[in-house]
A = this chain, B = another copy of it.
Amino acid sequence: MNIGILGVTGYGGSVLYQLMQQHPHVDTIYLYGNPDKPAQKLSEVVDQFYLEDTMITPFDVTTVCQQVDCLFSATSAGVAKELLEPLFKEGFPIIDLSGDFRLTSEASYQKWYNKPHAHLDGSVPVTYGLTEFTTDYTTYIANPGCYATATLLGLAPLAQEKKLDPNFIVVDAKSGVSGAGKSLSTSSHFSFIDENLWPYKLNQHQHIPEIMNQLKKWDEHIPAIQFTTTLVPLHRGLMATMYVKLNQEMTQVQLDHLFEQTYQTTPFVHYLNRIPSLKEVVGTNHCVIGAVLNETTQIVTIVSVIDNLLKGAAGQAIQNFNQMFGFEETLALPVFAQLP
Residue positions of A touching B, CB distance < 8 A: 11, 14-15, 18-19, 21, 46-48, 50-51, 167-168, 170, 172, 174, 176-178, 182, 184-186, 188-199, 202-203, 223-226, 228, 230, 232-237, 239, 241, 243, 270, 272, 275-280, 282-283, 288, 292, 294, 296-297, 299, 301, 303, 305, 309, 335-340
Contacts and interface: CB of A to CB of B under 8 A. Distances in A.
A226 B301 contact: yes
A277 B168 contact: no
A174 B177 contact: no
Given A189-B189, A243-B243, 7 more contacts: A18-B336, A48-B279, A48-B280, A195-B236, A203-B301, A232-B232, A338-B338
A266 to B, nearest CB: 12
A29 to B, nearest CB: 13
A223 B296 CA distance: 9
Contacts of A239: 197, 199, 230
Given A50-B270, A336-B18, A297 B226 contact: yes
B272 A190 contact: no
A275 B170 contact: no
Contacts of A272: 50
A236 B339 CA distance: 9
Contacts of A224: 296-297
Given A184-B185, A191-B178, A196 B277 contact: yes
B202 A340 contact: no
